[in-house]
Structure 1
């Protein structure tokens, strides 16, 4: 009887410890639970070396991600829906996102055949004159998008082909590392989207916790 009682006590103590460890693990999970539409990766990840070209015809590489928070959105200028919607949202949120002049928005085109520097310049400037637009050879784009955790694929033949692509926004830290991601969410009544206020508040938390 005494032995059974001691076993029961040990089991209760063990369960209590397990619950405590679970609780501590949840609260210590890089603060992602506090974010509305974003997720902070468990560990920042350095991006592989890449060489792209921006809308001014200038080289764009890893060095141009240093010193600022970068919000990277993947798409193409002929995109009929997701790209203009997301770029409009970023333009609306940009004044609050960039209050400390510490954020840059980068439109990463995965359609280099059609998105020339001139076309990228017109596209980026339409949404905001501070926005960057970059592209490069598919060999560079495939490697970079994989490292960002994003994907794209060409759909259809002929000049009117489309591009299926990720709709998330990846956050790059001032050290040039993949740090977080914003993903579209649905309220059950509309198509999934990244809401501006959630984006602004989540980015504020990310920078505060960095």
Structure 2
């Protein structure tokens, strides 16, 4: 009877342990993908004209978001917030990089991207490519964008989420903005930092 009791206790303990291990993280603003797939092969260019490829994200936590330098609201707000959050993100993972993906390659030249990103943080990346390369890359990350308007006055509608890629080059999570009464939907820095910390610690 004692032996049977110990076996039952061991089985119950095993079930409790497994449930604890698979319990979802209490994330505030993000969603971790069940299947973490590597990014498809891509080639873009950064603000210095250097190639930005799958190899560039290896060994780094890469936080991507998409936009354009003429964006009137979402992009400057996002970059200001990320610049403020960056020191805390670095404390969690010193190998974190923030990558701004320009969806407006016609107007966002290398020089313009360099000036634009340096205004917020010189450590950030500002990458782009022709639409033939940019569209499949952005779609692979789960971003969407579209030109709205005519001639040179067009605007670019684009996603406002962030996507986190692991040091193995795999898409691991998406951070989504929450509606704010009377304000633009946004990702709060406190929630970003908390979720990022949990994801990084869990990945390790």
Normalising by structure 1, report the TM-score.
Answer: 0.84
Aligned-residue offset at 1:188: 4.5
Gaps of 5+ in 2: 1-14
Q: Deviations over 1:126-161 (max 9, x none)?
A: 000100000001011111111111100000011111
Aligned-partner Cα distance in 2 for 1:135–1:188: 33
For 2:78, the equivalent position in structure 1 comes to: 86
Secondary structure at the aligned position of 1:191 is classed as strand
Q: Deviations over 1:55-74 (max 9, x none)?
A: 00111111000001000010
Aligned-residue offset at 1:27: 7.5
- Given candidates 158, 161, 174, the residue that maps to 2:167 is 174
For 1:183, the equivalent position in structure 2 comes to: 176
Aligned-partner Cα distance in 1 for 2:94–2:109: 28
- Structure 2 residue 27 is the aligned partner of structure 1 residue 35: yes
- 8 Å CA contact 2:163, 2:171 repeated in 1: yes
User: Of the two, which has the highest radius of gyration?
Assistant: 1
Gaps of 5+ in 1: 1-19
For 1:77, the equivalent position in structure 2 comes to: 69
Any runs of at least 4 consecutive aligned residues in structure 1 with deviations exceeding 4 A, and if so which? none
- Structure 2 residue 57 is the aligned partner of structure 1 residue 65: yes
Q: Deviations over 1:43-102 (max 9, x none)?
A: 111111111111001111110000010000100000000000011100000000012421
- Structure 2 residue 116 is the aligned partner of structure 1 residue 118: no
- Structure 2 residue 48 is the aligned partner of structure 1 residue 56: yes
- 8 Å CA contact 2:42, 2:54 repeated in 1: yes
- Given candidates 145, 148, 169, the residue that maps to 2:138 is 145
- Structure 2 residue 101 is the aligned partner of structure 1 residue 96: no
For 2:124, the equivalent position in structure 1 comes to: 131
Count the aligned residue pairs.
186
- 8 Å CA contact 2:180, 2:186 repeated in 1: no
Aligned-partner Cα distance in 2 for 1:207–1:192: 25
Aligned-partner Cα distance in 2 for 1:190–1:78: 20
